Structure 1
């Protein structure tokens, strides 16, 4: 798909912000109260009593009365507001890793439907250093930034929302950064509108070998698309640059396409908001309106102390309409109605 260039206009609304505007504010942090933690404990006890596999635990299996209403409002903030929230104060040290994961899953089910994150179909992913390096595989899964200790380029993930629960922090580094793609869009519009037009054209998106049998090795999607008056973005530089590098028929990355991607990276770095994870933090980001990154980190030597986050990719119950062919997996919807994620079968 290619979005008509004539439709380009300035992005507006609460999803357009800069890190400088938010850095001294904490109104994007939602602090859990003692009563909400007690409600989560009750829901945990109920869900465990059902004896279900994690993947089969639904919204109804993890009942949250008062807090469920707040999560609905936070979902609206993620989709129609600023595009991200940080829920702070889950006492992860008081739970086993399994119980913390079930609480996190239950919160996620109040927002939407989890989707697969890799070729093996993981719904609750583990973000930790497994020695991942570009171009390698870890089992059936492509080695990606989340299984390394490397600093990451600004990117989005393959779902409506990406969530991270911090179980353990690194010894040094690993700061999380988030940037508004609407702010990047407007900055490029101000300084190089010709290159913004390029970003509305289709770019190849490499599957890095994780596509199921019968799928192409890459597909096409624009970085920016305006659909029904709403700006959405899809930017994973390793997928785009990797496709141009890996497939000769694409002719290499040069000229205005390279300039446009370089400018995208530049303003992502300049306009971002930085935050340090604390144990028990849950970060929720809209992949259609934000990009995120992470600084390089150094881990503890002791295995039990190493940095460890849990990740969810979520299809929102009340997510935005997207144009046909937009994203890494255009048109993919699984049997639950969830969109995005990594398709496991053709």
Structure 2
């Protein structure tokens, strides 16, 4: 069983010990930009990450719904392509079989209905008569099979067209869901005083190893059942995969994921991590190389969102949503943690 001590208590003890140590040694506290005191290696959510419970619930629901609809759309589009290819093949077969049956019908018309009977009665011995009868029977069976094949191919064409139409209707449905979820997310941000379109961060490309999906392309539900290497808590396997992929890509600075503070969001569910921009932990506003590190890390998660199962990314008063791209996130309190100017927040599906 994974032991999950209350994060706030741990941080309080840590700060008390740090303060005592500073008093004994006379060493000053680390100064953050703007005169604030940096709290290194304290999970930012233990201070205040900004945003209301209602906002986070709306963003989570909107992003999850959008991602699910996007996966359903992709699966339907793939099925339609397969059906279109099958339909083209059936149409080629139908044309060939229609021509064959047409030739059979033409011969029957030219020889007349009594043609086979006349052939049977056209002299010869009894053995010849039986031989010709058997041959005509084989010809009739062959022509009958061609006609049946034509009818079967026509039925295949009809069913394929119905299936294609069904997939097109499914795609329209999922596009409508995606539009609705996009509107939900943007309305939630606007109600909180943000949501304006911003440039965000860019650069880089998709390079992460894909996380496991269901056969239909959707994300399987996961529970918080693997050890979190950054705390004494737990993570979902998909979140751990994203964390490990980021480390493998060179983003190895301090990270804190699980947080059992009873608050809203993905941290208590093992589906979120906070990546410090500074090497030592969560300090003041990131500048210079630390800002670049945060920019690159945020871009990495955005570029690999489909591969990893990213729900949203928050960095430097901006939020990236799968439905809307980068938007203003003005829900902080003016400090580096709630403004997300000292860490990149990652929420996972």
Query: Please, what TM-score do these two structures have when normalized by structure 1?
Result: 0.25
User: If each structure's strand is expressed as a fraction of its own residues, which one has the higher value?
Assistant: 1
**TM-score of the pair, normalised by structure 2:** 0.25
